[in-house]
Amino acid sequence: MDILLLLESALNGALVGLMYSLVAMGIVLIYKSSSVPNLAQGAMVMLAGYVILAFANQLHLPIWAAIPLGIVTMFVIGIGIERVALRRLAGRPIIMILMMTLGIEIFLRAGSMTIWGGTSRPLPIGISDSPLFLGPLLINRAYAVGAGVAVVMFVLLVLFFRTRIGVVLRAISDDYTAAWSVGISVERGVALSWAISAVVATIAAVLWGSVQGVDQSLALLLLKGVTVAVLGGLDSIGGALLAGILLGIVEGTASVVLDPLLGGASRELVDAAMLILTIMLRPHGLFGRHDIERV
């Protein structure tokens, strides 16, 4: 086995993993505030990609203007989803809530393809294709930028949770009855977490869209996002960051080792295996804190 190749895959894998973390952070944000596992996060990333493209291509705006507009739009859409679909389901069995997020997933995915069509479109944000060199190792420039943005996003979120509004959101996730008793509007807090999550999805859409184009496959990031979120512990943003790196490294090295053996496409298998192993062995993930319902 070529050790350099392995190292290179691990390094690039870690960077990709950080980009998965962006999807996972969105899931964690919503789960933290309302214990809703958002299986529509991948579809939200996809929708965000199409929204930005709509601003850039149909309204002919430069990309640096389309992205902020996309963020604002998704912020509103995030609030809307919570208000219309999730608020009335509060307190219902988890089966209903999961099915609702699946319904939203289908609706957003098929809805954006209804409006904009299913062909893959590029979303250029001006990152050159030439790789970076780290000694003898080749590093994908887009991945490096994506990983950097993910880390910045993480820092911003951590800072946000220190602000007054952020503290209120954390209070809601701790004990929503107590939050209610001191006059916190829990519904508005949850809506805000959906909005922020939609914004994080938009950032993920820009990065992933620039890497692989905007199409239906962006919605498939859900599996990666869920795996990372569960591995990190569903309510830990820091966990999502580290679990992303971990999953990325495992994926990267596994694809080098396993692909020749299994005939390719071992990444999906590794993801699913990681997810199952995490749930079976350590369901609260690496850094999760909630006692989960065990049988």
Q: Which residues bind other proteins (CB under 8 A)?
A: 37, 85, 88-89, 91-92, 94-96, 98-100, 102-111, 113-115, 117-119, 164, 167-168, 170-171, 174-185, 223, 226-227, 230, 262-263, 265, 268-269, 271-273, 275-276, 279-280, 283, 289, 292-295
We find the least distance from the C-beta atom of residue 68 to other proteins, in angstroms, to be: 27
The nearer residue to other proteins, 72 or 276, going by C-beta atoms, is 276
We find the least distance from the C-beta atom of residue 238 to other proteins, in angstroms, to be: 13
Contact 224, 244 (CB under 8 A): no
We find the least distance from the C-beta atom of residue 100 to other proteins, in angstroms, to be: 5
Instruction: Give the Å distances, CA to CA, from 168 to 79, 181, 234.
Output: 17, 13, 19
Q: Hey, CA dihedral for 262, 263, 269, 271, is it positive or negative?
A: positive
The nearer residue to other proteins, 15 or 23, going by C-beta atoms, is 23
Q: Hey, CA dihedral for 246, 224, 20, 201, is it positive or negative?
A: negative
We find the least distance from the C-beta atom of residue 110 to other proteins, in angstroms, to be: 4
The nearer residue to other proteins, 109 or 241, going by C-beta atoms, is 109
- The H or E element that residue 132 is part of is strand 132-134
The nearer residue to other proteins, 149 or 220, going by C-beta atoms, is 220
Tokens found for residue 123? 């979303």
We find the least distance from the C-beta atom of residue 142 to other proteins, in angstroms, to be: 26
Q: Give the Cα separation of 221 and 190 in Å (integer).
A: 23
Query: 152: Cβ–Cβ under 8 A, 6 or more apart, which residues?
Result: none
The nearer residue to other proteins, 132 or 178, going by C-beta atoms, is 178
Contact 38, 98 (CB under 8 A): no
